[in-house]
Amino acid sequence: MADLAMVFHWGPADLDPLSLTDLMEWRERARQRWEGQQHGTRSKA
């Protein structure tokens, strides 16, 4: 959840309604976006 907060600037109230499956999917999108920023490219997520 910290990954989502850091990358997307979401707070606990934004994350609370998400299911575990949704959290896992959004966490992967956050990882892809973070890695894209580190390599100077933009993520398609």
Domain around 18: 2-35
45 is a domain residue:
no
pLDDT tens digits, one per residue of 6-43: 999 999 999 999 999 999 999 999 999 999 887 765 55
8 is a domain residue:
yes
9 is a domain residue:
yes
Give the per-residue pLDDT at 34. 92
18 is a domain residue:
yes
43 is a domain residue:
no
44 is a domain residue:
no
Domain count, the chain: 1
Give the per-residue pLDDT at 42. 57
40 is a domain residue:
no
pLDDT of residue 1 exceeding 90: no
Count of other CB atoms within 10 angstroms of residue 10 = 16
How far apart CA 33 and CA 45 sit, in angstroms, is 7
